[in-house]
Amino acid sequence: MCIFCDIVSGKIPCYKIYEDEDVLAFLDTAKDVDGHTLVVPKKHCENLLDCDDEMLAKVMSVVKKISNHYVKDCGFDGVNIHNANGKCAGQSVFHLHIHILPRTVDSPFNFVAGNGAKCELDEMQQKLRLD
């Protein structure tokens, strides 16, 4: 069983922000950003890539609901939404989770931006295009 499944089941306590039949949202205990919230499906799936479309839609609906609440009712000016899929992408807990990072106009923006692209855009488009 994974740590998020233990949180969903109540074996591990959390600072719950929202809960419905399918989705749980709680504060990240890292305390790196005030209000850093994790939104998870209650049913285990490893990440976005293996989550069924119906559940993913429910998760994202909750992400939107909470994000709007933070901006409209809680004094934040915006949010960053983050999700990692797979170890190489930085996923550390292998249960789908979406990060909501509430922001204010004076919050430092510190997502890592790299200069690692090696391909020309037309070459990458040909490789990645869905037909």
Distance of CA 12 to the CA centre of its chain: 20
**Active-site pick, 82, 95, 97, 99:** 97
d(CA 92, CA 70): 25
Verify whether residue 97 is a known catalytic residue: yes
Cβ(39)–Cβ(100) under 8 Å? yes
For the CA atoms of 54, 99, 25, 107, the dihedral, rounded to the nearest 10 degrees, stands at -140
Side-chain-side CA neighbours of residue 49 (13 Å): 8
Q: What are phi and psi of 87, to 5 degrees?
A: -60, -40
Burial of 25 (0-12, 13-18, 19+ CB in 10 A): buried
Name the token pair of 2: 């994974």
Which residues are annotated as catalytic? 97
